[in-house]
Structure 1
Amino acid sequence: MLDWINQGIVTWGYVGIVLLMLLENIFPPIPSEVIMPLAGFTIAQGELNFFGVILSGVMGSILGALPWYYLGKNWGEKKLRRWIELRGQWIAISTDDLERSQQWFRRYGNLVVFLGRVIPGIRTYISIPAGLQNMPLLPFLIYSTFGTIVWISLLTFVGYWLGDNYTLVKQFTTPISVIVFVILAVGITIWFYKRKKR
């Protein structure tokens, strides 16, 4: 996969970065933790410039987030509410829980989207609840873009700084992704347990 990513950036330049980051958001197994540090390395080689790489990475990432946003938006609250009414007891979720989550997302949704775009492991999927909760498109794009700029800039700078060793970025971000998933899984498990017990 590394050779394929490298070839895409070398051959297509900024357009290649846009396409790779778009695919990374639609098919998460393609890691941004490799794409952007490699792009940062090309900056160090004098082949691309920093601003162009950041802009390309952000554009591709935001374009890739839109299908997930519209998936949540088109599935919609009515279908979700109907599903919860029929099968919600299987996972201890009620329509009252749905209402509370909507109130919570309306209150903190902007921050959730911003931070979600910076956290490995959930940055791709944060677009689904945003669409599901009918977050307006403009705020979604604004906060997604700000969060994405932080993530893309960090990966690009680290790749530039590491030079030939840019692949080390993946080694550091993979444990972070695992930790995030474990924390989420434990939190959800505790919540389900408390709901069942109650």
Structure 2
Amino acid sequence: MDLGNADSWGDMIYFWIVPIVMGDAIFPPVPSEMVVITGGALSADGRANVALVVLLAALASWLGDILVFQLFKRRLSHVLDRWKWGRTFHLAVHRATAQAGRSSTYGAIIGIRFIPGGRLGTTAAAGIANVSTRGFSLCAALGGLLWAIWSVGLGYFTGAATKLPFWASSLIGVGLGLAIGAVVGVLVTRRRGTRSPVVDGPEEELDF
């Protein structure tokens, strides 16, 4: 594959989005933002379908979040409870999430994904804290869709505005995303709510 050839990228971008975005949920260094923004840049160049890129990115983001959430909710949290330090950490996650409040907790699930590396921590914490599966799924779906639109839009509008090669537009879009997304993510996670989706015990679940 010729990495500098837009036609080659346009043929493969659909196959790369799902595994890379899902992989980013587990291993943050995976460059999901770069791939999705590149999809947007290719769309601006007429080499990809912008709606399909958004749909695949949003779906992959949701699937990855659900996978990590269920792993921590059903397995890893119980493994932690076998040791004293694990129980202490488990309880600390509950307290921290409860203090943040309902709006902040669900807002973090939606917004923290805009900060590279923040997605895994928030998803794991939600699973360990036994956040409602339905509530998490809805927030992860909304957050994934917003993130996909934002990322694809960065690549698309950067490409359309600069008329540079798609790889240059992608790099500019990634830079803008890192700067603006970090600010948005921090603002979202600092919001305070009045009620918490986390209950006193790790075996009970609250719903919306």
Q: TM-score, normalised by structure 2?
A: 0.66
The corresponding residue for 2:202 is: none
Q: Quick check: 47-56 or 77-86, which moved more?
A: 77-86
C-alpha distance in 2, partners of 1:42/1:26?
26
Query: Are 1:170 and 2:137 an aligned pair?
Result: no
- Cα 1:42–1:177, aligned 2, differ >3 Å: closer, same or farther? closer
Deviations 1:39-97 (A, max 9, x none): 001211223222211110011112222332123212226834843388x5xxxx795x4
The corresponding residue for 1:107 is: 102
Structure 1 counterpart of 2:153, one-letter code: F
CA RMSD of aligned residues (A): 3.6
- Cα 1:55–1:106, aligned 2, differ >3 Å: closer, same or farther? same
Structure 2 counterpart of 1:146, one-letter code: L
- Cα 1:168–1:80, aligned 2, differ >3 Å: closer, same or farther? farther
| Kept in 2: contact 1:81–1:98 (CA 8 A) | no
Query: Are 1:160 and 2:164 an aligned pair?
Result: no
- Cα 1:98–1:69, aligned 2, differ >3 Å: closer, same or farther? closer
Q: CA deviation at 1:129?
A: 0.7
Q: TM-score, normalised by structure 1?
A: 0.69
The corresponding residue for 1:186 is: none
Q: Quick check: 77-86 or 20-29, which moved more?
A: 77-86
C-alpha distance in 1, partners of 2:116/2:110?
13
The corresponding residue for 1:30 is: 30
C-alpha distance in 2, partners of 1:26/1:46?
32
C-alpha distance in 1, partners of 2:68/2:125?
9
Q: How many residues align?
A: 174
Higher helix share: 1
| Kept in 2: contact 1:105–1:133 (CA 8 A) | no
Structure 2 counterpart of 1:166, one-letter code: S
Q: CA deviation at 1:30?
A: 1.9
The corresponding residue for 2:61 is: 61
The sequence identity of aligned pairs, in percent, is 23
The counterpart of 2:119, out of the listed 103, 119, 123, is: 123
- Cα 1:105–1:67, aligned 2, differ >3 Å: closer, same or farther? farther
Q: CA deviation at 1:131?
A: 0.6
SS at match of 2:21: helix
Structure 2 counterpart of 1:53, one-letter code: V
C-alpha distance in 2, partners of 1:11/1:54?
16
Query: Are 1:50 and 2:29 an aligned pair?
Result: no
Deviations 1:113-172 (A, max 9, x none): 112233333023311011101122221111011112222211111101122322112233
| Kept in 2: contact 1:114–1:144 (CA 8 A) | yes
C-alpha distance in 2, partners of 1:81/1:102?
22
- Cα 1:137–1:178, aligned 2, differ >3 Å: closer, same or farther? closer
C-alpha distance in 2, partners of 1:179/1:31?
20
